[in-house]
Structure 1
């Protein structure tokens, strides 16, 4: 029976990195390489939410140490975010994150995404103009 528990513990410890990092990394690369933008949004939303979850976990670590099932709950939640059947990351982003961003940014969220001018302004800002560094 001891070997069985050791095996279960090993599977449990591998499930987190697989669900939280390996599969999302693979799916993100696939999304970038696909012509569709729908999957790009899912994986960008995932990485935003995963980063936020990791930051919160770092801040609340002393409290979370006292919750014995925290890791299992976290893996289950991240699986919901990741699995394409649920598209939890897109759902949470659309439902909560975007609403908060709109509320606190005065409605400016998504305007650069809607018009190509926003992107061009950013690119104009970061790329040097002709003649700026030609004195060398």
Structure 2
């Protein structure tokens, strides 16, 4: 049982960097090289949210140490942000971040240019 637990711990430790950094870095390069803007939005939103999550962790580190499942919960949340089936990063950006920036006047509404 101890060997199984060690294996699971090692996989868990490896999954974090792969899900949170390695795959997003790869997907971001692919998005930049593609002609579509949809994937660009997803990955820009991901890096904004990942940066915010990292800064929040730095500030709340002493509190988060008391939550035993924090790293697992973070891993599941980041997987939801990253997986293309969910497009979680774009969803959160559009529903929360953009709305808060508009609410406080930081982000101006887009002006549509009409052809004359």
Query: Structure 2 matches for 1:121-132, cutoff 5 A?
Result: none
Q: Secondary structure at the match of 2:78?
A: helix
| Equivalent position of 2:56 in the other structure | 56
Give the Cα separation in 1 of the matches to 2:47 and 2:56: 14
- The equivalent residue for 1:13 is 13
Structure 2 equivalent of residue 133 of structure 1: none
Local SS of the residue matching 1:85:
coil
Alpha-carbon RMSD: 1.4
- Cα deviation 1:20-56 (Å, max 9, x = unaligned): 0000000000000001010000000000000001001
The structure with the larger Rg is: 1
Moved over 6 A (4+): none
**Is the 1:16–1:75 contact (alpha carbons within 8 Å) kept by the matching residues of 2?**
yes
1:92 corresponds in structure 2 to: 92
Any conservation in 1 of the 2:98–2:107 contact (CA below 8 Å)?
no
Change (3 A) 1:12 1:106: closer
TM-score (normalizing by structure 2): 0.92
Superposition TM-score, scaled by structure 1 size: 0.79
Q: What is the total number of aligned residue pairs between the two structures?
A: 113
Structure 2 match to 1:103:
103
Distance 1:75 1:107 in 2: 30
Q: Which ranges of structure 1 fall in alignment gaps of 5 or more residues?
A: 116-136
Distance change >3 Å, CA 74–CA 107, structure 1 → 2? closer
